[in-house]
Amino acid sequence: MIGSRPIARIVLMMIFGLVFAGMLPGISRACDRNSDCLIGNRSYRIILPEGHDNVTSIPAIIFVHGYRGTAAGVMGNDKLTKMATQSGFAFIAVQAAGPEWNIPNIPSGDELADIDELAYFDAVSEEISRKFAIDPSRVIVAGFSSGAMMVWYLACHRGNSYAGFVPMSGTFWEPLPTTCPTIPSNLIHYHGRQDPVVPLGGRQIKDAHQGDVMQAIELVAGLSDYMPATPEQVDGAECSRQVDDRHRILELCLFTGKHEMKVAYLARAMRAIEESGFHQ
């Protein structure tokens, strides 16, 4: 019979092996831009500003990829990640459970059972605050294409959970909600006038239909007493900004172009949200 001490030693060695392999349930492993941060059955990736000590509080951008995209693919965009981290922001790339973000009215073939995106984003926000000293009052959520549709959904249902929202080239699926349970703290939307993938008025995709960007802006505008819009020319875009009595920004920027994301526009939106005071 093998003694109890050798057995205990073998068990401990197995446990350590599982931990280092990142396989033991409930125990986190190190993660960064090149490896997943596991959170339940989901994951995300993160880059911290150089020299960050995981103690000093910092702001962050959560970026939402497009259809069939990946967090790894987002992290491969050096221009995007450097813009964020060189501004002193942590950069988080979230990962969909399937090819599409599981939000209302997506094509039925892309729907997944038991996937709650709001719960996922709540969990990511809580974890990055706890593990990486991210200031929860200074987190901006941005996304491109179908990722922007996820951002609009968050803006509607978690409007006061983030400092701001920057959807680019995407909005709700039809039918749009008639109202939102929360008012977005700040929302700045960018869209190409000639976008053929997600036109401003939307288009049919399988058995679903993309929403109308103008109707989405009008929906948010009706949630608060926004002042009349102020037009502005910004880096090739025509922007129209409204502000309410709490200094929350609602802005639509249209540029001459197709289905694209411009890092310079995201950088501008970050500055505008910072200057607004990160109102939540």
Q: 10 Å Cβ neighbour count for 112?
A: 14
Note whether 19 and 147 are same-domain residues. Answer: no
β-pair partners for 192: 255
> Are 97 and 158 contained in the same domain?
yes
Q: Is residue 280 part of a domain?
A: no
23/151 same-domain check = no
Which among 100, 221, 255, 105 is positioned nearest to 172, based on CA atoms?
105
Instruction: Please say whether the beta carbons of 246 and 279 come within 8 A.
Output: yes
Gap between the Cα atoms of 257 and 196, Å rounded: 10
- Predicted TM-score (pTM) of the model is 0.89
Query: Length of the chain in residues, anyone?
Result: 280
- Which residue range is the domain that position 2 belongs to? 1-30
Residues 38 and 70 in one domain: yes
DSSP β-bridge partners for residue 265: none
CATH number at residue 238: 3.40.50.1820
> What is the residue-level pLDDT of the chain in tens, covering all 280 positions?
445 555 545 434 444 444 333 334 433 447 999 999 999 999 999 999 999 988 999 999 999 999 999 999 999 999 999 999 999 999 999 999 999 999 999 999 999 999 999 999 999 999 999 999 999 999 999 999 999 999 999 999 999 999 999 999 999 999 999 999 999 999 999 999 999 999 999 999 999 999 999 999 999 999 999 999 999 998 899 999 999 999 999 999 999 999 999 999 999 999 999 998 755 5
Distance CA 64, CA 153 (A): 12
Does 269 lie in the same domain as 176?
yes
- Do residues 19 and 49 both lie within one domain? no
What domain count does the chain have? Answer: 2
**Same domain for 38 and 16:** no
Does the residue 183 lie in any domain?
Answer: yes
